[in-house]
Every structure is written in structure tokens, then in C-alpha cells.
Amino acid sequence: PRDLLAPVAGLLVAARLASLLDRQSLVIESSLGAEELRALLRNHTIVHIGGQHRGGTTLLLEGLASNPSISVHELSSATTEAMRLSSVDSAGFGADPAAAAQVAKERASLLSSKLHNEGIFLQDVYPKTSLDHQPRFFLRRRVARLVCAALPSLGDTIRRRLSPPLADGLLPWVSCRLAEGIGGYAFSGASRLGADHPLADKAGALRLFSQWAPHWDMSRPLLLEKSPSNARAIGMLSAMWTAANAAGARFIFISRQPIAQALAMRAFIEPGDATLADQLEHWLCVEEAIRDDARRHLRSVALLSLEGLAAAPASTLDRLLGWLGLPAEAHGGGGTLARWAEGVRASPNAKYVAAYRESLGGLHGREDHVALVDRFARRVADVSGYALDGPIDDFHNAPVRDRAWRAQWVNGHPLSIEVV
């Protein structure tokens, strides 16, 4: 009976989260007019953080938030009140202010504790590619597991024979591996938002800025937005801010050793929804999109790794802040940066490296590792500098990104990369 009730309980939890993630939950429109929004854009630089889920983006956000010149997305008392009022208007809580206040409190908690203040959940301008895991996402996965059990090769057949738009629509219903959401979104061509996207214009930029602005402190010159999926939206975002004449747009991407990241992702992925090979392929879809779209759309980009940040948090962040153009006297953030650095774990991959080493002693463990190395090592090294074919203990270390690696990553494009 417990096994039968578990899926029902899961759907109930998903439905509760979805009720907090609808348009009225977290999206707030600025009360400012178009001219006022344009003036703010002309006087602020937008800074985007992207990378892998479970790859260090939140840690990096917390470090940069310690600087007094940088504003990050937060729920102020004003935005929480706006959420309370939206609850009154949209959910029928007008006769029960206490209930409306409680819903607003839950939404604020959800944003900070579950959604990690990610900008993608504070807007409804561009698609979320099921990263919000609405109930329909869980329904599609349950259907896909049934289809996979009966027709395990159907997903591969669809990928080979149908056009990408048609395949993207069908695969979430039939694919054995995740085809959307966390751990699967990058397999979908629709998640790659390029400079030719219909929203990549001044109107799209103003709509997006209007929804993000209420969560920023406009007295600070740098406005920081973090969403791992920015890795697949470089073209659209850069084109938006150019069209809107923003003072500037900077992009920072953080990576993590792919096997450690894959094991860390197990907290978000149901067993059987993705093999380790599937996860490494997804990791590459993210990293290769960063490289290829940075070449096409950016003049400057900052690259860092979770391992490097964890090994030297203060000095790494200091270099990054310098790249953002902040004066030396602003780097300390009144001691907040030092306190943040003291709390950073020096070896974030330790338990995952230990678990992977243990798995190599199991049945076929060594064979599986050799197969992963043969299939992925060259692409991983080219795009990131990580070495899959080295000693397992090296999985603790930052990637090697020397002059030769930087040259091939840029590949002759007019792109300056800051490797931090």
C-alpha cells in the first residue's frame, strides 16, 4: 500500500509547489513606465551567472552578493507585500488577509530556499523549459517510464527520424532519459535561446527588466541575475540588452568536474531517468553551448570552476570583481567577503569522488569507467580542461586551462576570456 501511495503523495507535493510557482506567485511587474525603465538600463550593468545545476552558481552568487556595488535578486518587504496583494487579487484571499500573508511568506521562502533566487523563476517572458517542474512534468515522466519499459528504442528512433521541433514535443512523453527539466533541459533544442529569438529585441528586454527590477536595489550599479540555464540563453540575453541600450551586460560561467556534478545531481533525478553517460552528455550540451554561443555573441566572458573557487575563494572572487571593474577598496565588502570565504568548503567534490571510487570496485565498475573515458574524455577536455582519463584523485582539482586551451576555446574569434 505504501508503494501505491508514494506516487500520489509525490503528485500532491508537486501540485503544492506548482501553486506557488504560477504567474501570480513570483512574477511582479514594475510600476515604472517605459522611459523610466530605459533610463535605469542606461545606468546599470546586467551581470548574468550561468553553468551547471549543482555546479556552484549559488555559491558564486553568495560571494558576489557580499560586494556593496552589486545587487542580487532578493525579496524585499515591498516585493513580499506585492505578492501578498497578488494573493488577495488572484487567489480569493481578500476576506482573509492572514491567509494571503501566509501564502506570500511561503512564496518568499520557496524562492530563497528551493529556487535559490534564480531569475528564470521571477519572469514569464521566456520559457522555463520545465525547470520549474510543474505537475505536467511529473505526469510526462510517468508516462515516459511506461513507454520506455515497453518500447525502449522509441526515443532514439524519434531523435533520428523527426525534425528537432517535433522531437522536442514528443520526447518528454516517450524518452527513457530525461528530455526536459533539471538534468534534461539541455537536450531540447528549444532551450537554446539565440540572438534571433522573437524576444531578443527592445520590447522583450523592457518586459524582462520590468519583472526583474522590483527584486533589485537600483542604488547599486551592477545588477546580478543567476540562473544555471543562462548557459543556453547567451544569444537572446546579450541581444536583448544591446537592443535596449543597457550600460553593459557581462556573463560569468562556472563549471564543475562532470562526474562529481552528475553524482550531485542524483538528488534531483529519479533512479532510472538518466544513466551516468546520459548525465555526462547533458553536461556537455551545457558546456558546449557556453563555448559556441560565447564565440558567436560575446566580446568578453569570465570562466571559473567550482574547484578553483573552493580552493581559493577570496582571491578568486577578488579577481572576478576586478574583471567587473570594481575598485579595490570595494572588494572587501566591509568584511562580508571574508566571512563568506571562511564558510566555503575547500573540497566540495570529496564525497562524490569517494562514492565514485567505491563504485569502480563493483561489478563492471572499471569497464563502465573506461567506456565513459573513451566516449567523453576528448570532448570534456576540449570544452572545459577537465581530464576524465587521469587519476580519480584529480577529480578534486580545478581544470587545466593554460594558454593552449584558451586559444582553442576562443578558436580565433574576437573574444576575450578571463579564466579566474
Q: If pLDDT is split at 50, 70 and 90, which confidence band does 76 have?
A: low
Angle formed at CA 182 by CA 178 and CA 188, multiple of 5 degrees: 55
Asked whether 84 and 100 are in contact (CB, 8 A), the reply is yes
- What H or E segment, with its residue span, contains residue 405? helix 403-410
Asked whether 167 and 158 are in contact (CB, 8 A), the reply is yes
Higher pLDDT, 75 or 248: 248
- What are the tens digits of pLDDT across the range 26-69? 789 999 999 999 999 999 999 999 999 999 999 999 999 999 99
Q: Cell 524518452 belongs to which residue?
A: 175
Model confidence at 305: pLDDT above 60: yes
Model confidence at 153: pLDDT above 90: yes
Helices (runs of H) and strands (runs of E) counted in the chain: 19, 6
Q: If pLDDT is split at 50, 70 and 90, which confidence band does 80 have?
A: low
CA distance 76 to 216: 9
Q: If pLDDT is split at 50, 70 and 90, which confidence band does 112 have?
A: low
Asked whether 53 and 182 are in contact (CB, 8 A), the reply is yes
